[in-house]
Homo-oligomer: A and B are copies of this chain.
């Protein structure tokens, strides 16, 4: 058997349906789209032809013809990120309800990849795109927005045709820091994210601002750079421990770093929260199940995904989007406790 010849049976086309039902293609199209009144008998004939041939209209051809693809491009950074994964799910479900199909592409936190993604999406004639944070310059987004409805998360900017939805990282970090301060911690170490990551810098600033507001500060030796991954978290704690600096609490600027930090602490025989309090940031779904369950800042990414989806649809359909991102919230679980002196 020749494998190459196996797949020749092509799906039915509208024309085949028309022929089968002895009507014109136009009529079939109209019935499909409910776009005009059609006599009952033709309708019946067409419907049975559709069933007989197992016909489904080709959305690609429809898109070409209509000039609208009912497809939304989504630029995520990593298709396997536990954080953005939730956002994708939120996007997917609300887009489905609105009758749009998602097209997911990954930018890998590389501006060049992200731009390539954008170009590809434009070439595919998506009706709009959602970019989840990422590192493209605001300028190119503003430019693209002139010809393509764009919603972008993780930034505050405004440009015609674009809806930006920023999460308040600064405030979130303040909440986390305040929580620690309220528990009596003053020597707080901070595991940051990549220094060129906008979320990371805002969070660090928030942390510093809250310390300052309390008349304290975050000394240089207690700030150590992570990479927003677990492995960066363990490295960071190892570095901290090796430096012999003293601290009673750690604020990791995302949950994944916190996981790594917790492990490194455990390895060194330090208990969370008895010896060291630990707070994360993002509230990944799995953070309710770590040992101990992680105190963190809720960054409602699933909801953000939903809102972003509603926003692009608004933009695409000519409405002015008003969606906003939920405010950060501290989720106190079991990785923090009052400092005993």
A123 pairs with B289, CB closer than 8 A: no
User: Quick one: closest B residue to A301, CB to CB?
Assistant: B80
- Confirm or deny: A219 has a beta carbon within 8 angstroms of a beta carbon on chain B: no
Q: Does A193 contact B (CB under 8 A)?
A: no
CA distance A262 to B58 in the complex (A): 49
| A window 240-297: CB within 8 A of B | 259-260, 262-263, 266, 286, 288-293
The yes or no answer to A220 lying at the interface (CB within 8 A) is no
Is A318 on the interface with B (CB-CB < 8 A)? yes
**How many of chain A's residues have a CB under 8 angstroms from any CB in B?**
64
B119 touching A56 by the CB < 8 A rule?
yes
Which residues of chain B have C-beta atoms less than 8 A from A148's C-beta? 7
Q: Give chain B nearest CB distance to A246 CB in angstroms.
A: 23
| Docked-complex contact B286 and A123, CB < 8 angstroms | no
- The contact string, 1 if C-beta is below 8 Å from chain B, for chain A 212-238, is 000000000000000000110010000
Q: Does A168 contact B (CB under 8 A)?
A: no
The yes or no answer to A111 lying at the interface (CB within 8 A) is no
Partner of A286, one of B59, B79, B286: B286
Contact with B along A301-325 (1 / 0, CB 8 A): 0000000000000010011100000
User: B residues within 8 A CB of A161?
Assistant: 3, 6-7
Residues on A lying within 8 angstroms of B by beta carbon are: 1, 3-4, 6-11, 56-61, 63-64, 69, 78-82, 85-86, 88-89, 92, 101-104, 106, 119-120, 122-125, 146-149, 160-161, 230-231, 234, 259-260, 262-263, 266, 286, 288-293, 315, 318-320
